[in-house]
Structure 1
Amino acid sequence: MSAFNNPERTGTRVRNICGVDEAGKGPVIGPMVVAGVACSNLDELAGLGVMDSKVLTAKRREALFELIKKEFPYAVVIRTASDIDTLRSEMTMNTITARAHAEVVATLDCPVAWLDACDVNEDRYGRTVAGYIGKPCQVIAKHKADRTCPAVSAASIVAKVIRDGLVDSYKEEYGEIGSGYPADPVTIGFLTRYIKEHGSPPPIARRSWATVKNLMNNTGQKKLF
Protein backbone atom coordinates (compact mmCIF):
# COMPACT_ATOMS: atom_id res chain seq x y z
CA MET A 1 0.00 0.00 0.00
CA SER A 2 1.28 3.46 -0.84
CA ALA A 3 0.21 6.75 0.66
CA PHE A 4 1.47 10.02 -0.80
CA ASN A 5 1.08 13.25 1.09
CA ASN A 6 1.77 16.89 0.30
CA PRO A 7 4.50 16.80 -2.40
CA GLU A 8 3.10 19.98 -3.97
CA ARG A 9 3.67 22.12 -0.87
CA THR A 10 6.59 23.99 -2.40
CA GLY A 11 5.63 27.61 -1.91
CA THR A 12 7.97 29.93 -3.79
CA ARG A 13 11.13 28.11 -2.73
CA VAL A 14 12.87 25.56 -4.90
CA ARG A 15 13.21 22.21 -3.12
CA ASN A 16 16.71 20.98 -3.93
CA ILE A 17 17.22 18.20 -1.39
CA CYS A 18 15.19 15.41 0.12
CA GLY A 19 15.96 13.02 2.94
CA VAL A 20 14.48 9.53 3.22
CA ASP A 21 14.25 7.09 6.11
CA GLU A 22 12.06 4.20 7.20
CA ALA A 23 10.44 2.95 10.38
CA GLY A 24 9.47 -0.65 10.92
CA LYS A 25 11.84 -2.60 8.71
CA GLY A 26 12.43 -5.29 11.33
CA PRO A 27 9.22 -5.79 13.39
CA VAL A 28 7.19 -8.97 13.17
CA ILE A 29 3.96 -6.96 13.50
CA GLY A 30 2.79 -4.03 11.42
CA PRO A 31 3.92 -2.14 8.35
CA MET A 32 7.15 -0.60 7.22
CA VAL A 33 6.70 3.13 6.67
CA VAL A 34 9.13 4.97 4.39
CA ALA A 35 9.02 8.76 4.46
CA GLY A 36 10.80 11.56 2.66
CA VAL A 37 11.00 15.29 3.39
CA ALA A 38 12.14 17.91 0.88
CA CYS A 39 13.82 21.25 1.60
CA SER A 40 15.68 24.08 -0.12
CA ASN A 41 18.70 23.58 2.11
CA LEU A 42 19.51 21.48 5.14
CA ASP A 43 19.69 24.50 7.46
CA GLU A 44 15.91 24.97 7.10
CA LEU A 45 15.23 21.66 8.78
CA ALA A 46 18.11 21.91 11.22
CA GLY A 47 16.49 25.11 12.48
CA LEU A 48 13.43 23.15 13.56
CA GLY A 49 15.54 21.09 15.92
CA VAL A 50 15.01 17.79 14.11
CA MET A 51 17.11 14.81 15.12
CA ASP A 52 17.01 11.04 14.99
CA SER A 53 13.43 10.11 15.93
CA LYS A 54 14.65 7.39 18.28
CA VAL A 55 16.16 9.93 20.69
CA LEU A 56 13.01 12.06 20.85
CA THR A 57 9.99 11.59 23.08
CA ALA A 58 6.71 10.70 21.40
CA LYS A 59 5.33 14.14 22.28
CA ARG A 60 8.32 15.90 20.71
CA ARG A 61 8.16 13.76 17.58
CA GLU A 62 4.49 14.61 17.12
CA ALA A 63 5.13 18.33 17.59
CA LEU A 64 7.94 18.28 15.02
CA PHE A 65 5.79 16.29 12.61
CA GLU A 66 3.16 19.03 12.72
CA LEU A 67 5.81 21.66 11.95
CA ILE A 68 7.24 19.60 9.10
CA LYS A 69 3.78 19.06 7.55
CA LYS A 70 3.09 22.80 7.57
CA GLU A 71 6.37 23.93 6.02
CA PHE A 72 7.82 21.16 3.87
CA PRO A 73 6.75 18.75 1.14
CA TYR A 74 6.77 15.14 2.28
CA ALA A 75 5.82 11.78 0.82
CA VAL A 76 5.12 8.45 2.46
CA VAL A 77 5.07 4.86 1.22
CA ILE A 78 3.55 2.15 3.41
CA ARG A 79 4.23 -1.54 2.99
CA THR A 80 1.79 -3.59 5.04
CA ALA A 81 2.66 -6.92 6.64
CA SER A 82 0.83 -8.64 3.78
CA ASP A 83 2.70 -6.55 1.19
CA ILE A 84 6.01 -7.52 2.76
CA ASP A 85 5.14 -11.23 2.85
CA THR A 86 4.19 -11.17 -0.83
CA LEU A 87 7.28 -9.24 -1.90
CA ARG A 88 9.62 -11.41 0.17
CA SER A 89 8.70 -14.36 -2.02
CA GLU A 90 10.41 -12.49 -4.86
CA MET A 91 13.14 -10.35 -3.27
CA THR A 92 15.09 -9.53 -0.13
CA MET A 93 13.95 -7.10 2.52
CA ASN A 94 16.76 -4.75 1.50
CA THR A 95 15.39 -4.68 -2.06
CA ILE A 96 11.87 -4.05 -0.79
CA THR A 97 13.22 -1.13 1.23
CA ALA A 98 15.33 0.23 -1.63
CA ARG A 99 12.35 0.24 -3.98
CA ALA A 100 10.20 2.04 -1.41
CA HIS A 101 12.99 4.59 -0.87
CA ALA A 102 13.15 5.16 -4.62
CA GLU A 103 9.36 5.61 -4.82
CA VAL A 104 9.50 8.36 -2.21
CA VAL A 105 12.45 10.09 -3.91
CA ALA A 106 10.71 9.98 -7.29
CA THR A 107 7.57 11.53 -5.78
CA LEU A 108 9.43 14.43 -4.19
CA ASP A 109 11.42 14.91 -7.43
CA CYS A 110 14.52 16.58 -5.93
CA PRO A 111 17.89 16.51 -7.74
CA VAL A 112 19.66 15.35 -4.56
CA ALA A 113 18.49 12.67 -2.14
CA TRP A 114 20.05 11.68 1.18
CA LEU A 115 19.20 8.22 2.50
CA ASP A 116 19.82 6.21 5.61
CA ALA A 117 21.70 3.28 4.04
CA CYS A 118 20.05 -0.12 4.56
CA ASP A 119 23.05 -2.09 3.34
CA VAL A 120 26.49 -2.68 4.88
CA ASN A 121 27.86 -1.11 1.69
CA GLU A 122 26.65 2.51 1.53
CA ASP A 123 27.67 3.13 -2.08
CA ARG A 124 26.03 -0.06 -3.28
CA TYR A 125 22.78 0.86 -1.57
CA GLY A 126 22.86 4.33 -3.10
CA ARG A 127 23.38 2.87 -6.57
CA THR A 128 20.57 0.38 -6.02
CA VAL A 129 18.07 3.07 -5.05
CA ALA A 130 19.21 5.36 -7.86
CA GLY A 131 18.54 2.56 -10.34
CA TYR A 132 14.92 2.29 -9.22
CA ILE A 133 14.09 6.03 -9.25
CA GLY A 134 13.59 6.26 -13.00
CA LYS A 135 14.90 9.81 -13.35
CA PRO A 136 18.25 11.57 -12.77
CA CYS A 137 19.04 12.08 -9.09
CA GLN A 138 22.22 12.27 -7.03
CA VAL A 139 21.68 9.69 -4.29
CA ILE A 140 23.83 9.88 -1.17
CA ALA A 141 23.40 6.89 1.15
CA LYS A 142 25.08 6.96 4.56
CA HIS A 143 24.86 4.85 7.67
CA LYS A 144 23.24 6.72 10.57
CA ALA A 145 22.20 9.55 8.26
CA ASP A 146 19.20 10.03 10.54
CA ARG A 147 21.69 11.42 13.07
CA THR A 148 23.84 13.50 10.72
CA CYS A 149 21.57 14.83 7.96
CA PRO A 150 18.63 17.05 9.04
CA ALA A 151 16.50 16.02 6.04
CA VAL A 152 16.88 12.35 6.95
CA SER A 153 16.20 13.17 10.62
CA ALA A 154 12.97 14.87 9.55
CA ALA A 155 12.03 11.85 7.44
CA SER A 156 12.69 9.54 10.37
CA ILE A 157 10.27 11.58 12.48
CA VAL A 158 7.53 11.45 9.85
CA ALA A 159 7.96 7.70 9.37
CA LYS A 160 8.01 6.97 13.09
CA VAL A 161 4.94 9.06 13.94
CA ILE A 162 2.89 7.53 11.14
CA ARG A 163 3.91 3.97 12.02
CA ASP A 164 3.27 4.52 15.73
CA GLY A 165 -0.22 5.76 14.86
CA LEU A 166 -0.92 2.61 12.87
CA VAL A 167 0.37 0.38 15.69
CA ASP A 168 -1.88 2.26 18.15
CA SER A 169 -4.86 1.54 15.91
CA TYR A 170 -4.01 -2.18 16.03
CA LYS A 171 -4.03 -2.02 19.81
CA GLU A 172 -7.57 -0.68 19.71
CA GLU A 173 -8.60 -3.76 17.72
CA TYR A 174 -6.43 -6.48 19.27
CA GLY A 175 -5.56 -5.18 22.72
CA GLU A 176 -1.97 -4.93 23.93
CA ILE A 177 0.44 -6.15 21.24
CA GLY A 178 3.65 -4.60 22.54
CA SER A 179 6.11 -2.83 20.26
CA GLY A 180 5.75 -5.36 17.45
CA TYR A 181 9.42 -6.36 17.57
CA PRO A 182 10.51 -10.00 17.93
CA ALA A 183 12.56 -9.25 21.07
CA ASP A 184 9.51 -7.87 22.90
CA PRO A 185 7.99 -10.53 25.22
CA VAL A 186 4.64 -8.73 25.13
CA THR A 187 4.56 -9.05 21.35
CA ILE A 188 5.53 -12.74 21.49
CA GLY A 189 2.90 -13.36 24.16
CA PHE A 190 0.22 -11.74 22.01
CA LEU A 191 1.19 -13.75 18.93
CA THR A 192 1.33 -17.00 20.89
CA ARG A 193 -2.13 -16.49 22.36
CA TYR A 194 -3.61 -15.42 19.03
CA ILE A 195 -2.19 -18.42 17.17
CA LYS A 196 -3.41 -20.86 19.83
CA GLU A 197 -6.89 -19.36 19.70
CA HIS A 198 -7.26 -18.88 15.94
CA GLY A 199 -4.89 -21.44 14.48
CA SER A 200 -3.10 -18.82 12.38
CA PRO A 201 -1.28 -15.49 12.85
CA PRO A 202 -3.23 -12.21 12.91
CA PRO A 203 -3.40 -10.27 9.62
CA ILE A 204 -1.07 -7.63 11.07
CA ALA A 205 1.75 -10.16 11.54
CA ARG A 206 4.46 -10.84 8.97
CA ARG A 207 4.00 -14.52 8.21
CA SER A 208 7.31 -14.71 6.35
CA TRP A 209 9.21 -13.83 9.55
CA ALA A 210 11.01 -16.72 11.28
CA THR A 211 9.40 -15.58 14.55
CA VAL A 212 5.91 -16.41 13.27
CA LYS A 213 7.00 -19.66 11.65
CA ASN A 214 8.61 -20.80 14.90
CA LEU A 215 5.51 -19.92 16.92
CA MET A 216 3.35 -21.85 14.48
CA ASN A 217 5.58 -24.88 14.87
CA ASN A 218 5.66 -24.56 18.65
CA THR A 219 1.87 -24.43 18.89
CA GLY A 220 1.32 -27.35 16.51
CA GLN A 221 -0.22 -25.23 13.78
CA LYS A 222 2.34 -25.87 11.07
CA LYS A 223 -0.10 -27.70 8.75
CA LEU A 224 -2.70 -24.96 9.05
CA PHE A 225 -0.06 -22.34 8.32
Structure 2
Amino acid sequence: MICGVDEAGKGSVLGPMVIAAVGVTSESVLDGLGVKDSKELSPGERERLYAVIRKKCAVATIRLDAQDIDAVRVEMTLNAAVARAHAQAISKLSPSCAYVDACDVNTFRYAEMVKGNLAAPCEIISEHHADQKYAVVSAASIVAKVVRDRAVASLAKKYGEIGSGYPSDPVTIRFLTAYIGKHKTPPHIARKSWKTVSNLLAQQSQSHLADF
Protein backbone atom coordinates (compact mmCIF):
# COMPACT_ATOMS: atom_id res chain seq x y z
CA MET A 1 0.00 0.00 0.00
CA ILE A 2 1.03 3.58 -0.66
CA CYS A 3 -0.62 6.48 1.08
CA GLY A 4 -0.91 10.24 0.87
CA VAL A 5 -1.12 12.51 3.89
CA ASP A 6 -2.32 16.09 4.24
CA GLU A 7 -3.92 18.32 6.85
CA ALA A 8 -6.56 21.04 7.07
CA GLY A 9 -6.79 23.80 9.64
CA LYS A 10 -3.12 24.13 10.56
CA GLY A 11 -3.24 27.94 10.58
CA SER A 12 -6.76 28.27 11.91
CA VAL A 13 -7.34 30.16 15.17
CA LEU A 14 -10.69 28.42 15.78
CA GLY A 15 -11.59 24.77 15.63
CA PRO A 16 -9.59 21.62 15.00
CA MET A 17 -6.75 20.66 12.75
CA VAL A 18 -7.53 17.43 10.89
CA ILE A 19 -4.85 15.16 9.43
CA ALA A 20 -5.91 12.57 6.88
CA ALA A 21 -4.14 9.60 5.32
CA VAL A 22 -5.53 7.87 2.24
CA GLY A 23 -4.14 4.48 1.25
CA VAL A 24 -4.32 2.74 -2.14
CA THR A 25 -2.74 -0.36 -3.69
CA SER A 26 -2.10 1.72 -6.83
CA GLU A 27 -2.65 5.36 -7.70
CA SER A 28 -4.67 4.12 -10.69
CA VAL A 29 -7.50 3.55 -8.19
CA LEU A 30 -8.01 7.32 -8.29
CA ASP A 31 -7.82 7.68 -12.08
CA GLY A 32 -10.72 9.52 -13.67
CA LEU A 33 -12.31 10.61 -10.39
CA GLY A 34 -11.37 14.27 -10.77
CA VAL A 35 -9.37 14.25 -7.54
CA LYS A 36 -7.32 17.42 -7.08
CA ASP A 37 -6.11 19.75 -4.34
CA SER A 38 -9.15 20.43 -2.13
CA LYS A 39 -8.68 24.21 -2.46
CA GLU A 40 -9.46 23.90 -6.18
CA LEU A 41 -12.80 22.18 -5.58
CA SER A 42 -16.21 23.49 -4.57
CA PRO A 43 -17.69 22.29 -1.25
CA GLY A 44 -20.18 20.14 -3.18
CA GLU A 45 -17.42 18.50 -5.24
CA ARG A 46 -15.38 17.84 -2.10
CA GLU A 47 -18.34 16.14 -0.44
CA ARG A 48 -18.99 14.00 -3.54
CA LEU A 49 -15.35 12.95 -3.83
CA TYR A 50 -15.11 12.33 -0.10
CA ALA A 51 -17.81 9.67 -0.36
CA VAL A 52 -16.07 8.05 -3.35
CA ILE A 53 -12.66 8.09 -1.64
CA ARG A 54 -14.12 6.48 1.49
CA LYS A 55 -15.52 3.66 -0.67
CA LYS A 56 -12.45 3.03 -2.82
CA CYS A 57 -9.56 3.68 -0.42
CA ALA A 58 -8.34 3.03 3.09
CA VAL A 59 -8.79 6.20 5.15
CA ALA A 60 -7.48 7.30 8.55
CA THR A 61 -7.91 10.66 10.28
CA ILE A 62 -6.41 12.35 13.32
CA ARG A 63 -8.15 15.32 14.95
CA LEU A 64 -6.38 17.86 17.17
CA ASP A 65 -8.78 20.28 18.86
CA ALA A 66 -7.79 23.79 19.95
CA GLN A 67 -6.86 22.73 23.48
CA ASP A 68 -4.81 19.79 22.12
CA ILE A 69 -2.81 22.18 19.94
CA ASP A 70 -2.26 24.63 22.80
CA ALA A 71 -1.02 21.78 25.01
CA VAL A 72 1.31 20.30 22.42
CA ARG A 73 2.85 23.68 21.58
CA VAL A 74 4.21 23.84 25.12
CA GLU A 75 6.27 20.74 24.31
CA MET A 76 7.21 21.25 20.64
CA THR A 77 6.87 23.43 17.55
CA LEU A 78 3.68 23.26 15.51
CA ASN A 79 5.61 21.66 12.63
CA ALA A 80 6.85 18.92 14.97
CA ALA A 81 3.30 18.36 16.18
CA VAL A 82 2.03 18.07 12.60
CA ALA A 83 4.85 15.62 11.75
CA ARG A 84 3.86 13.49 14.74
CA ALA A 85 0.20 13.56 13.69
CA HIS A 86 1.18 12.68 10.11
CA ALA A 87 3.07 9.68 11.48
CA GLN A 88 0.06 8.64 13.60
CA ALA A 89 -2.19 8.72 10.54
CA ILE A 90 0.35 6.75 8.48
CA SER A 91 0.68 4.17 11.25
CA LYS A 92 -3.06 3.48 11.12
CA LEU A 93 -2.69 2.30 7.51
CA SER A 94 0.77 0.62 7.66
CA PRO A 95 1.82 1.48 4.08
CA SER A 96 5.22 0.72 2.57
CA CYS A 97 5.49 4.27 1.21
CA ALA A 98 3.84 7.56 2.17
CA TYR A 99 3.72 10.86 0.31
CA VAL A 100 3.42 13.82 2.68
CA ASP A 101 2.79 17.51 2.10
CA ALA A 102 5.87 19.00 3.80
CA CYS A 103 5.16 21.39 6.68
CA ASP A 104 8.76 22.61 6.83
CA VAL A 105 10.85 24.72 4.46
CA ASN A 106 13.32 21.82 4.42
CA THR A 107 11.52 18.83 2.88
CA PHE A 108 14.25 16.32 3.83
CA ARG A 109 14.18 17.49 7.44
CA TYR A 110 10.41 17.14 7.51
CA ALA A 111 10.62 13.58 6.16
CA GLU A 112 13.04 12.74 8.98
CA MET A 113 10.66 14.32 11.53
CA VAL A 114 7.84 12.08 10.33
CA LYS A 115 10.08 8.97 10.26
CA GLY A 116 11.19 9.68 13.81
CA ASN A 117 7.61 9.20 14.98
CA LEU A 118 6.97 5.91 13.13
CA ALA A 119 7.16 2.54 14.87
CA ALA A 120 7.33 0.56 11.60
CA PRO A 121 9.57 1.24 8.58
CA CYS A 122 7.98 3.28 5.80
CA GLU A 123 9.53 5.26 2.96
CA ILE A 124 8.57 8.92 3.36
CA ILE A 125 8.46 11.15 0.28
CA SER A 126 8.14 14.72 1.52
CA GLU A 127 7.44 17.53 -0.94
CA HIS A 128 5.99 21.02 -0.96
CA HIS A 129 2.62 21.22 -2.75
CA ALA A 130 2.38 17.42 -2.77
CA ASP A 131 -1.41 17.88 -2.77
CA GLN A 132 -1.08 19.32 -6.28
CA LYS A 133 1.42 16.72 -7.54
CA TYR A 134 0.10 13.38 -6.31
CA ALA A 135 -3.51 12.22 -6.58
CA VAL A 136 -3.24 10.21 -3.36
CA VAL A 137 -2.23 13.37 -1.44
CA SER A 138 -4.99 15.33 -3.19
CA ALA A 139 -7.40 12.67 -1.91
CA ALA A 140 -6.04 13.11 1.61
CA SER A 141 -6.45 16.88 1.33
CA ILE A 142 -10.11 16.38 0.35
CA VAL A 143 -10.78 14.07 3.30
CA ALA A 144 -9.05 16.41 5.77
CA LYS A 145 -10.93 19.45 4.43
CA VAL A 146 -14.36 17.79 4.49
CA VAL A 147 -13.89 16.40 8.00
CA ARG A 148 -12.71 19.79 9.27
CA ASP A 149 -15.47 21.73 7.51
CA ARG A 150 -18.05 19.42 9.09
CA ALA A 151 -16.48 20.02 12.49
CA VAL A 152 -16.56 23.81 12.00
CA ALA A 153 -20.21 23.62 10.89
CA SER A 154 -21.00 21.69 14.07
CA LEU A 155 -19.26 24.33 16.19
CA ALA A 156 -21.22 27.07 14.41
CA LYS A 157 -24.46 25.42 15.52
CA LYS A 158 -23.34 25.88 19.11
CA TYR A 159 -21.56 29.25 18.93
CA GLY A 160 -23.29 31.00 16.02
CA GLU A 161 -21.54 32.37 12.94
CA ILE A 162 -17.81 31.78 13.42
CA GLY A 163 -16.67 31.93 9.80
CA SER A 164 -13.93 29.67 8.49
CA GLY A 165 -11.91 29.86 11.70
CA TYR A 166 -8.90 31.49 10.04
CA PRO A 167 -7.34 34.79 11.24
CA SER A 168 -7.77 36.26 7.75
CA ASP A 169 -11.56 35.81 7.94
CA PRO A 170 -13.33 39.00 9.14
CA VAL A 171 -16.30 36.92 10.34
CA THR A 172 -14.01 34.85 12.56
CA ILE A 173 -12.35 37.97 13.99
CA ARG A 174 -15.73 39.61 14.65
CA PHE A 175 -16.89 36.50 16.50
CA LEU A 176 -13.72 36.33 18.60
CA THR A 177 -13.78 40.06 19.39
CA ALA A 178 -17.43 39.93 20.48
CA TYR A 179 -16.95 36.74 22.52
CA ILE A 180 -13.89 38.07 24.35
CA GLY A 181 -15.64 41.40 24.91
CA LYS A 182 -18.59 39.65 26.54
CA HIS A 183 -16.89 36.83 28.45
CA LYS A 184 -13.43 38.40 29.08
CA THR A 185 -11.85 35.12 27.95
CA PRO A 186 -11.48 33.30 24.62
CA PRO A 187 -13.98 30.53 23.74
CA HIS A 188 -13.07 26.91 24.33
CA ILE A 189 -12.72 26.41 20.56
CA ALA A 190 -10.02 29.09 20.19
CA ARG A 191 -6.29 28.34 20.14
CA LYS A 192 -5.18 30.48 23.05
CA SER A 193 -1.50 30.16 22.07
CA TRP A 194 -2.18 32.02 18.79
CA LYS A 195 -1.06 35.65 18.53
CA THR A 196 -4.49 36.50 17.12
CA VAL A 197 -6.05 35.66 20.49
CA SER A 198 -3.39 37.35 22.62
CA ASN A 199 -3.65 40.49 20.47
CA LEU A 200 -7.43 40.61 20.87
CA LEU A 201 -7.10 40.13 24.63
CA ALA A 202 -4.57 42.98 24.76
CA GLN A 203 -6.91 45.22 22.75
CA GLN A 204 -9.77 44.48 25.15
CA SER A 205 -7.52 45.22 28.11
CA GLN A 206 -6.45 48.54 26.59
CA SER A 207 -10.04 49.54 25.86
CA HIS A 208 -11.02 48.81 29.48
CA LEU A 209 -8.12 50.89 30.77
CA ALA A 210 -9.24 53.75 28.52
CA ASP A 211 -12.63 53.71 30.28
CA PHE A 212 -11.04 54.83 33.55
Structure 1 residue 47, shift from structure 2 partner: 2.9
Structure 1 residue 180, shift from structure 2 partner: 0.7
More helix by share: 2
- 1:152 maps to 137
* Partner Cα distance (2:121, 2:154) in 1: 38
Report SS of the residue matched to 1:220. helix
Q: 1:207 aligns with which of 161, 181, 192?
A: 192
| 1:90 has 2:90 as partner | no
The one-character-per-residue Cα deviations of 1:27-60 (angstroms, maximum 9, x if unpaired) are 1001100000000111212332210000000000
The one-character-per-residue Cα deviations of 1:121-177 (angstroms, maximum 9, x if unpaired) are 111101110111111100000100001101100000000000000000111111111
- State TM-score, norm by structure 2: 0.95
* Partner Cα distance (1:46, 1:202) in 2: 43
**How many pairs were matched up?**
206
Structure 1 residue 84, shift from structure 2 partner: 0.1
* Partner Cα distance (1:46, 1:57) in 2: 19
Counterpart contact for 2:29–2:56, Cα < 8 Å: no
Which runs of no fewer than 5 residues in structure 2 stay unpaired? 207-212
Q: What is the aligned-residue RMSD (CA, Å)?
A: 0.9
Q: 1:74 aligns with which of 59, 63, 67?
A: 59
Report SS of the residue matched to 1:77. strand
- 2:37 maps to 52
| 1:110 has 2:95 as partner | yes
Identical pairs, percent: 53
Q: 1:142 aligns with which of 116, 124, 127?
A: 127
* Partner Cα distance (2:127, 2:28) in 1: 19
Runs (4+) of structure 1 exceeding 2 A deviation are: none
- State TM-score, norm by structure 1: 0.90
Which runs of no fewer than 5 residues in structure 1 stay unpaired? 1-15
- 1:169 maps to 154
